[in-house]
Structure 1
């Protein structure tokens, strides 16, 4: 009996304990209102420190804010609210006021009433409301947020100086974000009454030199961001107007560590004085400030500088040679137009971790780059460096991020990248194919499988087999492929094993609803940017993906109304918008008879005449005057060879840009039986001879002076290409440029 009583008592205790666990359950509406992230309470940081990488990585997405969400013991909560419930936040009253420490909303009209409901979370340490339709009326609700450390109110243009007194009164506020608001110098004077503020972000406001002077009493100010943007592009938008006079006022803040005055009008003298007045500056941004290279030499005086950013003025050898005293410098970003001597000077900086180089440097400088003891992040843009120089980085164990833009480097650099065991992020932009006719991405699979970010832009096209290689990168979180061959449904099927993929961007595709459904199956995908051929049905399927939150999509089959309709049906998707970009640069379709796998330019409706030409004998070339040929060409005489006919004109920019590619095909395949025939348009035919001579074009070109041949071939635009097989049959009328070479090879192999 005693044992039985003991068991009953134990059971009763267990039943009583159930509500204790219920306290760790947050109750949301059945349909998601956003997402929940968690962080161990002891690891959470707020204020200005919350924006560094290590702090951000401590937060883990738990899932959608829908239904009952159980929060692990010892965790704090971040709530990101989507726009769907913007007009009804009554569900907030169901949440405990002391359980959520971080709330973020973005790009929907929360309004002052919505903001009032958010302030019931009296435990908030971080609150970010971007573009929320707020006014200065929120001042009456701010006192409830006595524990707040970081407050971001950017892009709320109706928020003015009237709210600054309430913000200044918040006892624990470290950082305030006021970008794109109506705050002026008077508002900054009010903020200076704060006893706790350490960071002020007031970019794209009407702050002037006087505003800096008004902050005089903020002796503990550590960060000041007065970003004004590039003067060439900001137009009439409000922006800070800071000069050397304003920089001189910064002497009031001897502990200032971070300063951004992008777009201001300062001089070298102002920089020199700033170095003396603010000796603790660790981060400095002076992009688009009108400084000359000679004036930038004063940067060498900032002895504690860790991060320096300057775009709009070239950082030449004479500048970087003054950096010898910057032994703490970790990040250097800007237009680094240096020679090998400049790179050698930078290699002496013992802590440099990130660097962007461009300019006159060549292969010789790469030995200095390889010797940098801490270099983790390297961008090489438009230099004279070739594969041989890049190969000097082989077996580098420090590099984690490499980005190559242009240069004389080809995709053979994959061989070098494959030797870097710690490579995590890779970007290749406008990198050319390898030589010798080998596949452009021959060794793609040799890259470290722990790659987390891959960006290919304007590079040689990926074949389906190359997409199969991408499947090995199981740690991939970001994949961006822009330009190149139009990606198909078959391509994206190979991505299904990328279980960690968070961001996918595909800008040149002919993906249909079938491919969209394949993308939907990616379990961790939150952000998608895609140009495709999806319909409303495909978009609907995509929106049902459990993890998807941000969608930007372009398709000729979608309108703003359709996108909004789908968005309204799926409240868990934070942002869904349509882009105007068409899937590829021109609409594409398959061959009418499915006899080959190559894409054609134009929809099926647009290609009625072109499709009718395919499979029949090629029309006669009705040309009265031939250049580069001592007799009129007849397609019958060319049987036994593959003929590529190009309709072009000297007046046509795309025609001229394609000439190097045409020349390359001629040089590569003439011996195998390829004959190129050019047909110049009626327009500007008198200039053709001069252009041909100046550009050393060696193939026959006919002047279609009456446009009769163009009519027979139903030419839709210039340039247009037609491929005729060895039997004189017109096989492919106007193929996609991505498929042109492959189609030529296929006909040559028959």
Structure 2
């Protein structure tokens, strides 16, 4: 009897041990599954942070190109494309990597990166940039045949052959091979200094203003006109706006007019800002860059002060210099108008 009871107790203990072992295994499995799930979830999050870091470096380089920042961009981008080859924007990182290498004069390395990216991601959205920059890199090294091949692939591409990068490739191919140094051809006057406009007749344009009314510089002949190229997203433009408003309020009844030429991406923020700030002068949304291209505007704010005869007298005026220049020209123009009346 005692022996039987003892056996029962041992069996119960063994059963409990087995149950505990199974329970521990189950809990351990759950913990491992959770840990693995966290690892899988953490990878994309880490990729996002790394991508944002790379974009921040690229953005700072647009403001000021520093050798150490280019080196950092190469290091971060090279690591990213190796660790995160499936990331949705890895093609962009490849482009930034190749472009930075070319800027560092490590051109052959840049070529290798572009070729690798084209091979790995033939349908990526950055393929058109890969092909164009690959051609420019080959031209930089004097490998014009290889460059021609890259340009032609872009021009013949079923998806990107009609887009802006392909058009640039065509312009490059129109150049003499001996003149191709790995840079895009600049349009005539692209390097024209704003001061070079002084003393030249202002270029006329005929457009529709924001109110849907015809707007022509020629129709304002006899008045002093300030062409003001700006945008609501441009910090320096907004900072300068109080000076522009003050100058307009002071001279608007003395044959002085302003034409604000906006480079905003859409009309909505422009119209909202004009209404909020009560900007009472003429406004044109240059969505097609028609007028800004005519005046070779490469940065904003940009201003052109035009006299009553339609001649550009001053450019890039800001702060007190703007009001003083307008005051002098308004005075000169009114005297000229009065003199003509006496005649």
TM-score by length of 2: 0.39
Q: Which protein shows a greater Rg? A: 2
**TM-score normalised by length of structure 1:** 0.18
Q: Which has the higher contact order (CA 8 A, sep 6+)?
A: 2
- The structure that is helix-richer by fraction is 2
Give 1 or 2: higher strand fraction. 1
